[in-house]
Structure 1
Amino acid sequence: MPKPLSPETIAVVKATAPLLAEHGPTITKAMYRRLFQDDHIRALFNHANQGENGAQVHALAGAILAYARNIENLGALIPVVERVAHKHIGYHILPEHYPYVATALLGAIKEVLGDAATDTVLNAWGRPTGSWRRC
């Protein structure tokens, strides 16, 4: 069972919401570019939903922003998380695939936000994985 997020981590994630609102699709585009460098992960995705105006780019950006805005009330996200979980099961997404996504996302945050993506921000978003250090 993962440890609860600290009040400090919650505050940092919440504080990134305005940056995510401004740069969300740019971050998710960069994340998918990074993620798709791995052929076995790339093969798991429907690429018709990717691309410049792909639905997945915007859906993920919205989900990440919703997480930041609702980090103190994650129950509000349950319907969306359940829908995503069912889709992932249908696409045979396994637990071992998620670290690839975490690494790609955190690397994209660092790439797009530049100096605003401090170690504090990346550590808060990387809990519990700390995977941004492998970016």
Structure 2
Amino acid sequence: MTAAAGERGVEPRGGGRRRLPAGTVADPLQSNLCSKYLRAVADPERLRIVQCLRAGPKSVGEIAGYLNAPVVNASHHLQHLRRAGLVAATKRGRFVFYALAPRFAPPGDGRTLNVLDFGCCRIEMPPEAERRR
């Protein structure tokens, strides 16, 4: 680009922009992964399921009772959360128990019970008592 062209704000022929090869741009937020998590909890019922599972593993029936919704609806939402990697399923006999994936349920003193940390962002949920007001 010539100095005169740059001063006038005119780009040289060909656009002057070069495309970088795929994978060369740093993505510290891991945008694709983060957006997958955020899409999964964008539904209020799914966010309530996450809150329910913060207390420990639950069966689909227990989760449906918590939501006051049919088991089929709870199961549908659990599949979305499972595909996103937020929830893990374990079969015990005839029942399937769901729990938050280990990276989202760190052992601790309970202070993180209302925090969901995706790495790229944190979702802080009010304690159960505050949500019922």
Q: What is the TM-score when the length of structure 2 is the normalising length?
A: 0.26
Q: Whose strand fraction is larger, Structure 1's or Structure 2's?
A: 2
Higher RCO (CA-CA < 8 Å; seq separation 6+): 1
Q: Whose helix fraction is larger, Structure 1's or Structure 2's?
A: 1
Structure 1 or 2, whichever has the larger Rg, is 2
Q: What is the TM-score when the length of structure 1 is the normalising length?
A: 0.26
